[in-house]
Structures are given as structure tokens and as C-alpha cells.
Structure 1
């Protein structure tokens, strides 16, 4: 064999192998395309109903008809930079299951301290109007304030066809290593629903510069956090200011401050099986025996614990290296000993703010608007 023939042999062999495998490759591609097309056809004719199969053959549910309320209507979406992704995800919503995506329509927005958040006049105005609308929704609606707060605890109803019953302690996994991370999708769901309400409201302002301002404010929204470790005194607008003046699309009006309390509509003693919760028709903070809230007592209690709160947060962030201890109070069979945890600090804030208006067993406190801001602080801003 001469040198030239020897040098050309690998090329000839390579071409032979290519001719052998090419038909198999083409056949495989044709089979994949055919199966995908068949799956899409079966989904569109409701032949496939299993959620896991739907995830495989139709991951964005583009063939599923949505029957949601107007706040999830693509027509209410303000301008953003998501290239249509939020619209696709919204189409995946169905009458039986709400998909929690968080806010995804204008990139990643910074979560802000309440004081910075409140200094943004347009955003604060839209937030207060949105909270009022959310709290005013029918309590049987799964996207209502009542239903969202009830995910955390009482009144122990099943939510979003999730199963589990939610019968004794709510869905929140107290005394569990999952305790901090569970709150993240919970807060994302709240932000998603409230954010869509705010976008819908922004589109109702008079066309022109005013509407554009509020649309831009809606795009800046993330739930703010109340930084009690930095300053434990509750800001007036979330602690003691009974009414607020807001600019609605129809004009300037005074409304009951939605950050002070949630009023049940209607109220039923069956919501909360223990006294005194089964006779209070609204959320209360440090109430006296007559059910009168005492915001001054809240600030007194928080002030007395300010140094301790700050030190405990500092120590957890700087010295605790074991997540099973860091995350919850059940790290040692319920006996915390000299160790601290996020959950223990969380519980203290609930008790200091709620007084006898909060009971950990019943877990009514998630109904109070201030605790949504508290949870943003504990489970997102500080620790993740």
C-alpha cells in the first residue's frame, strides 16, 4: 500500500459510517416530531388530562383555554421587557389551578425598605389602591386577600386544589427545615396577584402622562419589607393611620387604610375555632379586653426588644453555619437550648405586634397586612 492510499483510508471509512447512521438519525427526528404533534393534538381535544403529561407535550399550555378574571387578562398588561413570556405563562392559568410565577413582566425589580417604598408617591398610591381592591374581593375567590392569607393558617381551607385539607396548622410548615423556603413562593404568589391588580388599575387612569406614570409605577412593584431590626417602631401609615388619601382613576378620595386592618366580609365564627378570634370581625393588634387595638402598645413592646432583635439577627447572619438550626426552632426535637433560629425571631415579632390578637396555634396573624411586610423581611430580604 502506498502512502497516498493509506492517508485517504480514514476519510473513506468516515463517509461509510456516515451513510450507515444517516437514515437512523433522520428516522429518529421524524419520530420525535410526529410524537410531539400527536401530543399537541391530543391536548387540544382534551384526550390528555394528566398534569405531568401536559407538562411534557404542552409545557406552556398554549392549547388550554383560560377562564380567569380580568386581572390575568393579557389586555391589562402594561409595557414591559419580558418579550411576551408573562403572556405565555398567564395563558397557562386555568379555572382549576393557578400557576405561581411571581412578578415576571418587567425584569427583576428590587425589594425595597418600606420607608423607601413609601417615598415613591405614585407606587405607594397604586399599592394602597391595589390593596383596597384585593381586600374587597369576594372571600370565596382564590385570589382574594382572605384566601391568600388563609394559605398561611386559619381558616384552614384547601387552596388552589392543592389537597392536604389545611385543617390544623395551615399549609405553612412550622418547626420544619422548609419553614423559610416555603414563604418564598407564598410571597411570590401574593406579589403576582396584587401586581396584576395594580397593573389593571394603572391602565384605568386618564390616557396620557398620568396613565404612563402609574404604568411605570406598576412595573416597579415588589412587596416592600418592614425592617424591624433596623428600627422597630412601626411607621404610621402601616401602624396607626386610620385613613389615607389616594388618587384613583376617578379622582382623589379618602379610604380606610388597608395596611391597618383586614375587615372580614362576611365574618363567621367558624373561621377561627378558638376564642377570642371567633368573635372579632377584623384583625387587631395588641387589643384590650374590649377588642380595641392599641398601636402605642405595639411600639412600646417592639421598642423594649429593639436591641435584642438587632443582636439576634446579627448573630444568626454572622455565626450560624448549620441551616437545620438556622432555619427553624425544631432542630433538636423542639428543644432549642441556647441556639436561635429565623422561626424563633419570626414568632417573637408576631407576638409583640399581635399580643392576644395573635395565637401561634390558630395562626390568624397572616390575615394582618403588616405581617406580609414582616415575612418579606424575614424570608427574603435578610436571609436569601
Structure 2
């Protein structure tokens, strides 16, 4: 905890840094000394029925949007990317972005099996010797003889360190690449995940308990009695620690999968077959789902939508046999009603004994709707992913990635578990999704080795309730994960990027084969991969202008979950029924904590939705800024849906949107990233006059919270460089 004086001084410093060089268009912005007071008066006039700090009585009315719809345009229907088509460019016609290039993983991703399958089983008995939470061990010394006794205490719980696999370093692979190029490893992954999913709920490394770390059922995980916040899980959403906390979390599941795979492989006979599958089990690592890949775009991996899958497993005598099993990547099936009994309604009802995506009224899975929703946001998602690598601070990178991450949860959930913080980790696709977030983190660490977590306002978790003015930094404990020496993981333990190789994994873009290379060589290699995968022509020499809509809200204003959607060119006839339909560009998603009446901790959240693809589709790429601002002022519309019902900007106190542009320079080289050559230039003429649209720059730079105070969510430093 820090003193309020320190916090005030830091806030003033942040305000002075982030406001430098920021302008509003078209006229140069001149601060009004009474501006903040004036704007607060305007906001209070809009909300005359309540005082600042009062929860907003959101009124759910008939669907409506803010803004005027411009000329009518025709959008070409979504095209199956397996069919190659040629489109002629017609003014006013929106054309799907098709990229027919094929990404070939670097040669370092190719696995070379060891000459002998060496595996040392854990020293603890089968089941890893785990004991139910609360059982603890202590050590005592008597004279010169040391003995260890097992007792129940309140201080030292039994725990298993999170160390990952205990073989050599292997790359985590893209899920479809793994399935295609290493079928033996994929087979062992499926068998292992099935074993983890069917392990007893009391096993700390079962799918049930590992998923429960993220949220419900809100119980300590390998920790003794303490002062816990039973309204939330251990996860650090909305925090500077968002990316770092999830790294040991993913490693915990990978560790469970690895040991389960080795245990199953040891059952095969004869010896030659056992050797084959022990080799494969030694390579088992979590795969990732790259929702920004230009080849597969944002569609759900097909394997995650299959209800059953065929595997090769040992029979009662150890002989390999082919069998059809429930696909552990499609859904997680709770072991019984007792598993969901601790959950609040409706999650404790029998129909919810399996995870679902876009469930219908009978709780049937409709993953195809999730896949379609994901693909509709591909163009802005790939740009947002690329822009994350242009961040000038680690915290800003983490925030940008989290914003994309949130929209994935929203698009995949559709009323299923992925849309709820408390239950999302039970859906197996959660782990593929977050593995990609970890991959992006590793790639950023490789390309920006000098940037890492800096102090920011803390976010409370299950094991760390935080009072006001508490700070998160790289030394904050990442509960509940312990290292090999028994100490808590901290973000500092996860930097530099080479630390992942010590955890026995890499990625094709940060490969294990680079362990003997210099950081500069890794930087060059990874940067080339970033440009190849997500650059989409951004490496053409010269300066270009990047256009964005910034969506912003205090996440505590609306209870439950909600989304703010941006549409352009056209829009769904009924955005309530089809929010990811025609004209969808991007969104700010705020997942429900688990109940529609639960408020989140007060904190400003924002997302930048890229507009360049949208402008290109409608013939405004490189157009005069005045023409662009006139077009998007008339054309862009916004819809807010909270807990499945519509609401309006005029009903909200903190929700804002702003349009800004920024110059980006690229030298045209594949091994260097573009960089900003100007600060954000806010075009208030686009938004003023509309509910939720900003009139003054301070509304977006120093946004208002529900209590009437102001916050600088993530200070952006001036990134202008002078090229020599």
C-alpha cells in the first residue's frame, strides 16, 4: 500500500506526461481553465436523477443506436476462405479481406525425437500425492536428526510447485498445426486432457479445480486459511498483471497434462509402441488458438467443434486400440450435480453440467455461431493485435491485448461459460485462447526486451483484497502459484522472455532453438514473424495514418456483463439478436463476474477499435482527413447491450467514445516494427453533439469514474522518434 500523498503526486505526474502534445481536431485544442467543471455540470444535467457516485439505474428500452446512418452500402456476404475468389472493387461495396498466403512455421518448430525415451516419474505416488485443501505439512529438527511430520496447521499448506514439464524444451504449437504435423503428440494431448477432465474434483490438478482458480467455486487453491474475497476468483483482469498472472496459470494445466500423458504412455505395449508414445508424451505442451492468423482468420478451430474424436489408447493389456471418445476440446462435462452445487443459480442446474457456446434454450451447443461471430471481427482484430506490438509501455501492451482478449470471450460465449469470468476457464477453448495471449506476451518481450510491468493501480483478487491506493508492480505476488523453492511467483520471475525456455516451452516465434542465440538475434527473428503474420502491408516504407475509435467506461457502472459495439457502412437489422452481424467493426466487452447483479471494482477500461480496414473497404483509405471525419461522423453507429438487454449512452455517466488518428512510420524492413511519429489527434468534431461522444479532450484523457473522480487509466508516453 502507498500513501495518498504519493498517489496524488504520481497522478499529477501521469496527467502531465499523457497530456503532452495531444490535440483535438479540426481546431487546435485550447484548454479551458474551467473546462472540467463545465463538463461535470453538463454530465450532471444529463443525469439529474442522481449524484456522482450513485449506481446508474440503467433503463432497458427498445434497441436504438446513436448517430445517423449514412448512405446505404451493400456488404458482400461472408466467404468461405477455402474458396478463392476475385473481387472487383466497387465504390460503396464492402469486400471481405481475403489473405491466401500460407504461413510456414520456422524450421525450429520441427520436432526431432530423442534417441531414447527417458522419463523419470514423479517421486510422489500416482495422483501426485495431492491432499485436499487445508491439509498442511511442517518440518521440525531434533538435535542433529531432521524428521518431517505431517500435521494440520494454519500456516504451511501442502502444495505442488508449478514447474511445467520435466523434459527438454519444446514449442507450443498452433492447434491445427499440431493436429496436422504431430499426430502422436496430439493423440497424447487428447488422452491426457480426458484424464485430467475425469479426475476427481478433490484433485487440485483436475480440470475442475484448475478451472476454478479463475473464478467459481471460490475456494482456496493450495493455500491455507486466510482473508479471502469470496466474490471473485484469483484472476487479475483489468490489471497490469493480466498477462503475467496467466503464465503460471497455463503452466499448471500444462504440468498436469504432461504427467497424465506420460502415465498413459507408460501403459502401452509392446516396448516399441511404448517408446513411440513416451516420445510423444514428452512433447505434450498446451497448443494455442491464434485468432488473428491471416490464414485461418478468427474461425474457431474445427477440432474444438467436434463432439467426439478418435484416438489410439492402450487397452487392458496395453495394446494400442482405436477408440471414439468425448472430445475434451469441445466441452468439459462436470462429474455430477455435486460439482455445480456450490455455484449460484442458474449455473447449479442440471442442464449446465456441460460447457456450451451460444447455447439454445435447451442448452444445446451452437459453436458454429461462435465461429461466425469471431470471423466477423477478424479485420479489426488482426489490426488491433499488430497495434499491440507498437505500444510504448508494457502496461499499454497488456491493456491492448486484454481488450482483444475480452472481445474473444464475448464473441465465443453467447450466453455460455466463456462470457462469464467465474466460469470461462471450464470451457477447454479458454486454455487455447489464453495460450495465444501468453504467446503474444512472449513475442512482445522478445521484440521489446527493455519494457516490462510498471506500477499501476491494483486490482483485487480472491487472495488479495486491496484497499484504495494499493499498487500492483512486478514484485506483486501472483497467488496461488508457487515456484520450485516454495516462494510465490511474481512478474519479475517471468522476465526476460528466456525464462519460458526454463519452463520447458517456447513458441514458433520465440522458439526453443534460440536458447543459444543473443537477444538481438531473437528480436530480429520475432519481429520478422510479427510483420509476416499481422503486418498486412504495414511494412511499406513511409508514413501512414492510423484511425481508431476509443471506447471507454468505468467497469463498475453497469452490473453483470455488457458490450459496446461499433458498426460502420451498414448494421444488423436487429443488433440485439445479431450483434456481430453486418457492419460489425469491433467492441468493448466486459464479462460478467458470474451474476447479473454483481458490480466490478471501479476502474476505467478502454479499447481502441481500428478503423483502417473499414475505411479501406468503403473507399476512404488515404483520403483527406476532413472527408474521413465527415464520413465516419455520419456513418458510425454504436449499440450497448447489457446482460442481454439494450441500454443507451444517455443512461450512463462514464461511457464515452472518441475518434482519433495517429501517424505511424515504417522503414519498410521486415525485421523492424513501425513506430508512432505523432501523439493521438482527437477529432472532437466527429463525436460532439452525440450522447457518449466527447466534446472535450479531457473527457478521454482524464475520464470520470462513477464516484465523480478522474483517472488516467494507462499513461501513454510520447513515442515520437527522430530517425538518424
Q: TM-score, normalised by structure 1?
A: 0.69
Tell me whether 1:107 sits opposite 2:168 in the alignment. Answer: yes
Structure 2 CA distance, aligned partners of 1:273 and 1:169? 13
Report the secondary structure of 1:245's partner residue. Answer: strand
Report the secondary structure of 2:441's partner residue. Answer: coil
Match of 1:236 in 2: 302
Structure 2 CA distance, aligned partners of 1:237 and 1:164? 42
Match of 2:252 in 1: 189
Structure 2 CA distance, aligned partners of 1:311 and 1:169? 32
Structure 2 CA distance, aligned partners of 1:353 and 1:217? 31
Report the secondary structure of 1:70's partner residue. Answer: coil
Aligned CA distance change for structure 1 residues 304 and 128 (closer, same or farther; 3 Å): same
Match of 2:662 in 1: none
Asked if structure 1 preserves the Cα contact closer than 8 Å seen for 2:341 and 2:348, the reply is no
Aligned CA distance change for structure 1 residues 359 and 368 (closer, same or farther; 3 Å): closer
CA offset digits 1:293-327 (Å, max 9, x no partner): 1121011101111111111101111x211222222
Match of 1:61 in 2: none
Return the offset for 1:272.
Answer: 2.6
Match of 1:370 in 2: 429
Q: TM-score, normalised by structure 2?
A: 0.38
Match of 2:219 in 1: 157
Structure 1 CA distance, aligned partners of 2:292 and 2:283? 25
Asked if structure 1 preserves the Cα contact closer than 8 Å seen for 2:214 and 2:421, the reply is no
Report the secondary structure of 2:263's partner residue. Answer: helix
Match of 2:282 in 1: 219
Larger helix fraction of residues:
1
Structure 1 CA distance, aligned partners of 2:278 and 2:157? 27
Tell me whether 1:289 sits opposite 2:350 in the alignment. Answer: no
Asked if structure 1 preserves the Cα contact closer than 8 Å seen for 2:254 and 2:285, the reply is yes
Asked if structure 2 preserves the Cα contact closer than 8 Å seen for 1:286 and 1:357, the reply is yes
Match of 1:60 in 2: none
Aligned CA distance change for structure 1 residues 282 and 214 (closer, same or farther; 3 Å): same
Match of 1:334 in 2: none
Structure 2 CA distance, aligned partners of 1:359 and 1:219? 30
Which of 429, 435, 439 is the aligned partner of 1:381? 439
Report the secondary structure of 2:213's partner residue. Answer: helix
Match of 2:310 in 1: 245
Return the offset for 1:69.
Answer: 4.0
Asked if structure 1 preserves the Cα contact closer than 8 Å seen for 2:215 and 2:423, the reply is yes
Return the offset for 1:174.
Answer: 1.4
Match of 2:264 in 1: 201
Structure 1 CA distance, aligned partners of 2:283 and 2:418? 35
Match of 2:74 in 1: none
Return the offset for 1:290.
Answer: 2.1
Asked if structure 2 preserves the Cα contact closer than 8 Å seen for 1:203 and 1:211, the reply is yes
Report the secondary structure of 1:356's partner residue. Answer: coil
Q: Which runs of 5+ in 2 are unaligned?
A: 1-121, 130-155, 316-320, 443-724
Which of 194, 202, 208 is the aligned partner of 1:146? 208
Structure 1 CA distance, aligned partners of 2:253 and 2:410? 23
CA offset digits 1:21-72 (Å, max 9, x no partner): xxxxxxxxxxxxxxxxxxxxxxxxxxxxxxxxxxxxxxxxxxxxx9944154
Structure 2 CA distance, aligned partners of 1:130 and 1:153? 23
Asked if structure 2 preserves the Cα contact closer than 8 Å seen for 1:229 and 1:306, the reply is yes
Q: Which runs of 5+ in 1 are unaligned?
A: 1-65, 74-93, 329-340
Structure 2 CA distance, aligned partners of 1:166 and 1:321? 34
Structure 1 CA distance, aligned partners of 2:374 and 2:416? 15
Report the secondary structure of 1:324's partner residue. Answer: helix
Match of 1:311 in 2: 383
Structure 2 CA distance, aligned partners of 1:254 and 1:289? 28
Aligned CA distance change for structure 1 residues 247 and 182 (closer, same or farther; 3 Å): same
Match of 1:6 in 2: none
Tell me whether 1:325 sits opposite 2:396 in the alignment. Answer: yes
Please, what is the CA RMSD of the aligned residues? 2.1
Match of 2:652 in 1: none
Structure 2 CA distance, aligned partners of 1:96 and 1:157? 15
Which structure has more RCO (C-alpha within 8 Å, separation ≥ 6)? 2
1:10-29 alignment runs, 5 A limit: none
Structure 2 CA distance, aligned partners of 1:369 and 1:361? 14
Larger strand fraction of residues:
2
Structure 2 CA distance, aligned partners of 1:369 and 1:289? 22
Return the offset for 1:227.
Answer: 0.8
Structure 2 CA distance, aligned partners of 1:361 and 1:298? 15
Return the offset for 1:258.
Answer: 0.9
My pick for the range that moved more, 124-133 or 263-272, is 263-272
Report the secondary structure of 1:253's partner residue. Answer: strand
Which of 413, 423, 442 is the aligned partner of 1:354? 413
Asked if structure 2 preserves the Cα contact closer than 8 Å seen for 1:271 and 1:278, the reply is no
